[in-house]
Amino acid sequence: METNLTECNENIAISFSPTESHRFGRKVIRFDVRRSSWKNLKTAIESEFPELAIVRLPTDRFDLVNKIFKSFRSVYLADTAVEYGINLKDASSKALGFCTISKVIKADERHVEDLDSLVSRSFSGYRSHYIANRDLPEFDLTLAYQEWARSSLSSPEKTCFMFYSESDLCGFFAAETRGKRFRGLLSGVLPEYRRRGVFREVIRTVKFAFQAEGANQIVTRVLLENDPVHKVLLHEGFSISGRYFTIHINMRVPHITPPSRRWSRLLASLDQVPRRKKGRLSDYRPSLGPINFEDLR
C-alpha cells in the first residue's frame, strides 16, 4: 500500500499510510523492523501515536513477538510472508518460451479500467493481513488492491506490465523500479489462466525486461500459503532472502498488559495456529531447519 516514509535507520523504517488511514478512519503507521531491541521498538511505536501499528519483523525474532503480545492488549498475528530475490547478473538466461501469453504491454493511465478489472478478478476471494484484524471495520479488499495497482501507472518509479493471451487480458505484474534493486509489489493471473504456466511466463518476461532496464536484482514477497507461486519462483532461479511476520497492534484500546500466558495458546485463540499440512513455514527454511513452536511455551 502507499506509504510516506517518516523515519528510517538501520533498525526500523517507519512510514505513515495515508490511504489506509483514510480507509479505516484511524492513523495507520507501519514499522518495518530490521535490527532492533524491544526497548527501541516499543519507544518507536509509542512515540508515533498510531491508532493502528502494522509491524513487520523477521520470523526469527520471537523475542519481539512475545514482548508485543504481552505489552499490548489488542494484537493479531496477521500473516507470514517469504521474501525471494534474484541477482540478475548471475541469473541464467532461459528462453521466454511463450505458450499462452501472446502480447505484453507497459501499462499507463489509459489502461486504468482494464487494470481494475484484472485486479478485481485476480484477487476475488483473496485474504490479506487486514482480514485477520477483527477490530477493523469491514471493507472491500478488492478496492484496496485496485488503488495500490493504479499507483504503478502514474509514478515514474513504478512499472506495470499487462499480459494478453490472444486478445484477452490474462495477468499483470506491478513493481517499484527505483535504483538497481527492483521490488515486485503486486501481481496476479486470472483464475481461468491458472495452472497453465502463465505465471512462469510472466516471471520470465519480468526478469528479461528489468534486466534490460538496468536492474541488478529483483525481490518480491509471497504469502506462506501460496504454494504455486513459491514453486514458480524457485524454479525460475529466485532464492529465499527472508521470512517475515505481519503483526497488527490496535492502539485505540487501553494499553493493558494481559495476564501472562503462553504465546502458542494465544495464537490458538486467534485461529492463527501455524498450519501443519500445507504451506508450513518450515518448508521455506532449508538452511535454518524447522521451527519448533513448542519451544515458545
Would you say 262 and 69 are in contact if contact means Cβ atoms under 8 Å apart?
Answer: no
Query: Is it the case that residue 297 has pLDDT exceeding 50?
Result: no
In angstroms, what is the C-alpha Rg of the chain?
A: 20
The number of residues making up the chain comes to 297
In whole angstroms, give the CA distance from residue 5 to residue 11. Answer: 14
**The pLDDT of residue 8:** 60
Rounded to the nearest angstrom, the gap between the alpha carbon of residue 11 and the centroid of all alpha carbons in its chain is 20
**The pLDDT of residue 19:** 87
Rounded to the nearest angstrom, the gap between the alpha carbon of residue 111 and the centroid of all alpha carbons in its chain is 24
Query: Is it the case that residue 143 has pLDDT exceeding 60?
Result: yes
**The pLDDT of residue 259:** 43
**The pLDDT of residue 9:** 66
Query: Is it the case that residue 34 has pLDDT exceeding 90?
Result: no
**The pLDDT of residue 288:** 45
pLDDT per position as a tens digit, 197-244:
999 999 999 999 999 999 999 999 999 999 999 999 999 999 999 999
Encoded amino acid at 83, one letter: E
Percent of the chain with pLDDT over 90: 61
Neighbours of 268 (CB within 10 A): 12
The residue with greater pLDDT, 4 or 214, is 214
Query: Is it the case that residue 253 has pLDDT exceeding 70?
Result: no
**The pLDDT of residue 139:** 81
pLDDT per position as a tens digit, 52-76:
999 999 999 999 999 999 999 999 9
Query: Is it the case that residue 283 has pLDDT exceeding 60?
Result: no
Task: Provide the β-strand partners of residue 106.
Answer: 161
Helices marked H in 194-271 — which ranges?
A: 198-212, 227-235, 263-269
**The pLDDT of residue 128:** 84
Task: Report strand pairing: 28-33 vs 52-58.
Answer: parallel
Query: Is 0.85 surpassed by the pTM of this model?
Result: no
Domains, the chain, in order of start with CATH, read 4-81+243-296 (no CATH), 86-242 (3.40.630.30)
- In terms of average pLDDT, the best of 78-87, 140-149, 268-277 is 78-87
pLDDT per position as a tens digit, 73-131:
999 999 999 999 999 987 766 656 668 888 999 999 999 999 999 999 998 878 789 88
Tell which residue, 69, 78, 114, has the closest CA to residue 264. Answer: 69
**The pLDDT of residue 261:** 46
pLDDT (mean) for 24-39: 93
The residue with greater pLDDT, 269 or 33, is 33
Query: Is it the case that residue 263 has pLDDT exceeding 80?
Result: no
**The pLDDT of residue 286:** 46
Q: Return the H-helix or E-strand segment holding 77.
A: strand 74-87
Helices marked H in the chain — which ranges?
A: 18-24, 38-48, 62-71, 112-122, 129-132, 141-154, 198-212, 227-235, 263-269
Average confidence score pLDDT of the chain: 84
